[in-house]
Amino acid sequence: MSIVDQTRQDDILVLSINNPPVNAFSPGVPEGLKAGLDAAAADDSIRAVVIIGSGRTFVAGADIKTFNMPREQAPDLRGTVEKLDGFAKPTVAAIHGTALGGGLELALACTYRVATPDAQLGLPEVKLGVLPGAGGTQRLPRVVGAARGLEMMLSGNPVRAAEARALGLVDELIEGSDLLAGAVAFARAHADARPLPRISERSVEGGPEVFAAAREGIKKTHRGQLSPSLIIDLAEMAATRPFQEGWEAEAVKFMQAKDSPQSRGLRHIFFAERESAKIPGLGKDTPTTEIRSAGIIGAGTMGGGIAMNFLNAGIPVTIVETAQEALDRGLGVIRKNYENTARKGRMTLEDVEKRMGLLTPSLNMEDLADADIIIEAVFENMDVKKEIFTKLDAIAKPGAILATNTSTLDVNEIASVTGRPEDVIGLHFFSPANVMKLLEIVRADKTSDRVLATSMALARKIKKVGVVVGVCDGFVGNRMIHRYGDEARRIVEEGASPQDVDASMNALGLPMGPFQMSDMAGLDIGYAIRQHQAKVRGNPKPDGWLDRIVELGRKGQKTGAGIYDYDEARKPRPNAEIAQLIETYRAEKGVTPREITQEESTKRLAYSLVNEGAKILEEGIAQRAGDIDVIYIYGYGFPAYRGGPMQYASEQGLQNVVADLEKYGQTPAPLLRRLAEEGKTFADYDREKAQQASA
Ligand code: 3HC
């Protein structure tokens, strides 16, 4: 089998693309397609051409791995599209699976498109920080209109075949199992159509108001991003300029977007997310256990949110509390959440009842005896957790997974009270647990491969991004966030206002700065940790400016006031008394406040994450720098277009990061220093480690 096979079906030439797993447009594909078209042109007995993908899908896009290649070596997608558009005989794209990005662009350059009913078609380039670069910005609006075309290109979300048919993107749906036969019959029926209908010759429906609305819209949906505005400019050209002009402008803007740090960041995350699912030493054939039922201990905010994930996936849950009142409250919150979703039209009332019907409340832990997995989600107290796991050890059936949702405690210590530490694992969900996509999967010393592999599979099933981490205080995400919080407080101590510090992270693209985030999470949590740590270490009682705020009873959003004041809409407003409290604090400590630029604040905060991240990597708590980035994007709102904190640091140049850390009085982690000295990035580190592991 070659990368593009040519087979004749009488008067039709079929070109099948064989480039597993997703038939991306890799080197060899354009050459194969062009050769096929040449063969069809040269043979008078061929009346039409069908292009089809072999295996599980049509072409899922340009090969993202080739984006770093020099332009002249990169696969010639645009040349192939041009050749198709100018081809003298009818061409039919036969689509199954997904026609995405360059795949859909290829199809749009064909004369006709047919698809299986389960196919999906879309231009997801924006998710990679680029734009459709092979005619998509010019052809899609010509087919579906400017408004719908922009919606598809700016969201990046695909449409299903039936909708594509209604939009005119697809000419015919091929029912039944034989797409190829259907496509060949379609090609034969349209073999004599002349003149050939070409999308490039159509005009675009939609006036200037569509583009104005789109420009307004992206201020909210894509703040700070480059490629969405380029997409709108190009769609406007499609509507107002000749095809050729838009086509040429698209090539220039595609390169501009592709070479931006934003696109590098998003591409990094695309691959990092897929890498994070791979665990060195854990083979694909590692046995897993099917999770058919779950038990959850604790019906509070976390327990309820966790339960919803299972209910959404159709897995029955038994949820256990110690008091009827707490159980009723927990169930009430779950129901209310679902009913709110139904009110917004994203679920029917029948769906609500179906989910609630899968939920069994209980006051008795023994009701968990049959559960395939039991997740403990009670408050952070080692003694309480140990007591629960001791009981679980007696109750749970053999082989059941015993998981703790602790966010900081030692999973090894928790496992040690059971007679089956190999079945114990940490599953750290992020609040709100029914919304946040991250799941830190904490592998304890004795966790078995089966339990680990099952947990990874479970993460996929409940639509989470699971990342494996090791045991340490705070694991990866929270351990880093503690250093970030320390640095944020220091910056205020030195002279900045909390709102300036928050603004410096908003400027980087985080929806919330450190203080907005701690007000949301509750200031009493950090306060308790600081007090506890001081006591354990024999230090004096902490008396930072933030501690003083908490001691005023201002615990954050939940008390209506914290570092900020909050109105009904939970909008933060700076408070003059807090500003005064901070000033008094500085005066007492003999600090003369100095002006701190936004740039300094951004760097210090971002690099405090990076520096701790480097230590975490070196200790093997995270397997890859890319895993840390995935954790920060899915768990902490770090903007994906920055690629996560580690990728962001690499973009700044690790030598510069080291120099800045030193300038601001922090000691760079040894790994960070070494990579900087060697002129490397964190991606280089991941690559080298992967090579060593496979050697
Ligand atoms: N280029 C290179 N590799 C790709 C790829 C692509 N476009 N799409 C997927 N892959 C790789 C993945 O990295 C993964 O590799 P791995 O097994 O080594 O980890 C493998 O293919 C399978 O991918 P998934 O694990 O994601 O498989 P799924 O079945 O879950 O999803 C998919 C399949 C929906 C096609 C998903 O992979 C996807 O969304 N791919 C990206 C599609 C895309 O963005 N296309 C546009 C590219 S940009 C473009 O076309 C520019 C043009 O306009 C000029």
Report the catalytic residues.
Answer: 105, 125
- Cα–Cα distance measured from residue 32 to residue 251, given in angstroms and rounded to the nearest whole number: 23
368 lines ligand 1 (CB under 6 A): no
pLDDT of residue 473: 87
Nearest CA among 693, 682, 679 for reference residue 626: 682
pLDDT of residue 102: 98
Asked if the model's pLDDT at residue 70 lies above 90, the reply is no
Asked if the model's pLDDT at residue 558 lies above 90, the reply is no
Asked if the model's pLDDT at residue 521 lies above 90, the reply is no
Ligand 1 center–CA 257 separation, angstroms? 19
Tens digits of residue pLDDT in 653-686: 999 999 999 999 999 999 999 999 999 999 999 9
What is the pairing mode between strands 12-17 and 4-9? Answer: antiparallel
Nearest CA among 377, 416, 419, 379 for reference residue 395: 419
- Cα–Cα distance measured from residue 489 to residue 511, given in angstroms and rounded to the nearest whole number: 19
Helix 514-521, helix 498-508: angle, nearest 10: 110
Ligand 1 center–CA 162 separation, angstroms? 23
Ligand 1 center–CA 140 separation, angstroms? 21
Asked if the model's pLDDT at residue 197 lies above 90, the reply is yes
For the chain, percent of residues with pLDDT exceeding 70: 100
For the chain, percent of residues with pLDDT exceeding 90: 92
pLDDT of residue 281: 86
Helices of type H across 145-226: 146-155, 161-167, 179-189, 208-221
ipTM for the predicted complex comes to 0.99
The residue whose two tokens read 């029914």 is 434
Report CA dihedral (126, 128, 134, 136) to the nearest 10 degrees.
Answer: -20
Q: How many helices (H) and strands (E) does the chain have?
A: 29, 19
Tens digits of residue pLDDT in 611-625: 999 999 999 999 999
pLDDT of residue 502: 98
Q: Tokens for 310?
A: 């299972």
Asked if the model's pLDDT at residue 1 lies above 90, the reply is no
Ligand 1 center–CA 22 separation, angstroms? 7
Asked if the model's pLDDT at residue 391 lies above 90, the reply is yes
pLDDT of residue 693: 83
Ligand 1 center–CA 141 separation, angstroms? 24
Give every CB contact of residue 650 below 8 A, 6+ residues apart in sequence: 681, 682, 683
Tens digits of residue pLDDT in 569-589: 889 999 999 999 999 999 999
**Residue with CA at minimum distance from ligand 1 atom 45:** 61
What is the pairing mode between strands 401-404 and 373-376? Answer: parallel
442 lines ligand 1 (CB under 6 A): no
Tens digits of residue pLDDT in 401-435: 999 999 889 999 999 999 999 999 999 999 899 99
Beta bridge partners of 572: 566
Mean pLDDT of the chain: 96
Asked if the model's pLDDT at residue 483 lies above 90, the reply is yes
pLDDT of residue 401: 98
Q: How far is CA 61 from the centre of its chain?
A: 19
Confidence of residue 108 (pLDDT cuts 50, 70, 90): very high
Ligand 1 nearest-atom number relative to CA 64: 1
Ligand 1 pocket mutation pick from 17, 59, 64, 65 by most atoms within 8 angstroms of CB: 64
24 lines ligand 1 (CB under 6 A): yes
pLDDT of residue 529: 81
**Residue with CA at minimum distance from ligand 1 atom 9:** 22
**Residue with CA at minimum distance from ligand 1 atom 52:** 102
Tens digits of residue pLDDT in 626-645: 999 999 999 999 999 999 99
Tens digits of residue pLDDT in 201-238: 999 999 899 999 999 999 999 999 999 999 999 999 99
